[in-house]
């Protein structure tokens, strides 16, 4: 008797809470983002996400909870903590968080999760963003081939993983589509996560490519890329930026940047969640979806000839229409160009 009374009270109270939470859900969401080890001000990948988060906060006035991980165990811990603190949507940044988000998403079916640069997971409350970096790289490859005087261009990657080879392969495709006999030198900085943050080595690799005749160097190397850009600028050559719009780092010396709109992914995740449009599944963002692009602004206007611009825009249109299919390295671990 006593027990059932207790139960009734509990039910009544939880019922009240339930009503409260339903009315609350439509009005406000509690978003959270977990940056990875690079840190949110890495001038590249994490910072791109931060830009999207900032835009969301500015437009909606909703504060986003943030955390930067410092060791392996913290990824999962941070996600759990965000859920404990009432997060309704948690955004993970980078493929290193894939394991953690899979575990925490399975335990919390009522919370929405989203992760960038992952496409191989499967959960009903998890959205995954993957980018067709090969398409964007193809575009900057076309630009590089037009800008090169020597017919030799370079590529400096960060960590040697299939994701970065995908950048390299698309780039080679773009270069060769303009000048089939062009040389493309390729170097990877290393095989570990520290390769994302080694500007000194990035600069060395760039100088060696320049010594071999390269005059346009594309980098997809996170924090290492700053060294690549610096070395190219110091030698009077051209660099191509990546992820964020890096044209402004050295105006007049950066031909263009391959934009990977992780900011769009972050912004869209939170916006969809806010408006009740959140869906699970994989979002593949290519040129057609506005997920990847090349950067044109006042910093590089003087470097872009009208002929170059026309060629890149043509390639862009052809990719959208399906006339050109850029090979995706990850589909077969090979590059046909």
- CB of 84 or CB of 332, closer to another protein: 84
Distance CA 10, CA 16 (A): 10
DSSP assignment letter at 124: T
- CB of 278 or CB of 329, closer to another protein: 329
For 44-94, list the strands marked E by DSSP. 65-68, 89-93
Query: Least distance from C-beta 192 to another protein, angstroms?
Result: 5
Query: Least distance from C-beta 73 to another protein, angstroms?
Result: 6
Q: Using DSSP bridges, classify how beta strands 292-294 and 254-260 pair: parallel, antiparallel or unpaired.
A: antiparallel
What is the separation of C-alpha 235 from the centre of its chain, rounded to a whole number of angstroms?
29
Nearest to 67 by CA among 53, 58, 4: 53
**Cβ distance 197 to 224 under 8 Å?**
yes
- CB of 83 or CB of 207, closer to another protein: 83
- CB of 193 or CB of 248, closer to another protein: 193
Query: Least distance from C-beta 194 to another protein, angstroms?
Result: 9
Query: Least distance from C-beta 65 to another protein, angstroms?
Result: 7
Query: Least distance from C-beta 207 to another protein, angstroms?
Result: 24
Residues of this chain that interact with another protein (CB under 8 A) are 39, 65-68, 70-74, 77-78, 80-81, 84-85, 95-96, 98, 120, 160-163, 191-193
Query: Least distance from C-beta 283 to another protein, angstroms?
Result: 19
**Cβ distance 288 to 319 under 8 Å?**
yes
- CB of 66 or CB of 272, closer to another protein: 66
Quickly tell me which residue has 């698309």 as its tokens: 170
Quickly tell me which residue has 């009903």 as its tokens: 124
Residue 281 makes CB contacts below 8 A (sequence gap 6+) with: 127, 128
- CB of 294 or CB of 329, closer to another protein: 329
């Amino acid at each position: 008797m006593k027990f059932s009374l207790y139960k009734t009270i509990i039910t009544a109270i939880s019922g009240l809470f339930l009503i409260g939470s339903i009315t609350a859900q439509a009005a406000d969401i509690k978003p959270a983002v977990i940056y990875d080890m690079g840190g949110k001000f890495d001038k590249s990948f994490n910072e791109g996400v931060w830009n999207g988060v900032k835009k969301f906060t500015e437009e909606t006035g909703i504060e986003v909870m943030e955390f930067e991980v410092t060791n392996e165990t913290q990824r999962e811990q941070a996600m759990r903590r965000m859920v404990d603190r009432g997060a309704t949507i948690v955004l993970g940044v980078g493929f290193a968080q894939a394991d953690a988000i899979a575990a925490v998403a399975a335990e919390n079916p009522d919370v929405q999760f989203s992760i960038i640069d992952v496409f191989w997971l499967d959960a009903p409350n998890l959205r995954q963003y993957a980018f067709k970096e090969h398409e964007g790289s193809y575009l900057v490859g076309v630009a590089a081939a037009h800008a090169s005087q020597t017919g030799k261009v370079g590529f400096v990657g960060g960590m040697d993983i299939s994701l970065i080879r995908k950048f390299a392969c698309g780039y080679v495709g773009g270069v060769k589509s303009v000048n089939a006999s062009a040389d493309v030198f390729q170097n990877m900085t290393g095989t570990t996560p520290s390769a994302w943050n080694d500007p000194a080595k990035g600069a060395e690799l760039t100088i060696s490519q320049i010594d071999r005749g390269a005059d346009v160097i594309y980098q997809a190397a996170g924090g290492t890329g700053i060294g690549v850009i610096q070395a190219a600028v110091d030698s009077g050559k051209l660099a191509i930026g990546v992820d964020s719009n890096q044209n402004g780092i050295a105006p007049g010396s950066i031909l263009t940047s391959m934009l990977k709109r992780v900011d769009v992914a972050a912004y869209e995740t939170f916006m969809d969640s806010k408006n009740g449009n959140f869906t699970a599944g994989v979002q593949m963002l290519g040129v057609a979806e506005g997920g990847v692009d090349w950067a044109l602004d006042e910093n590089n206007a003087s470097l872009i000839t009208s002929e170059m611009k026309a060629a890149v825009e043509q390639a862009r249109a052809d990719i959208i229409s399906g006339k050109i299919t850029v090979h995706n390295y990850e589909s077969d671990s090979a590059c046909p160009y």
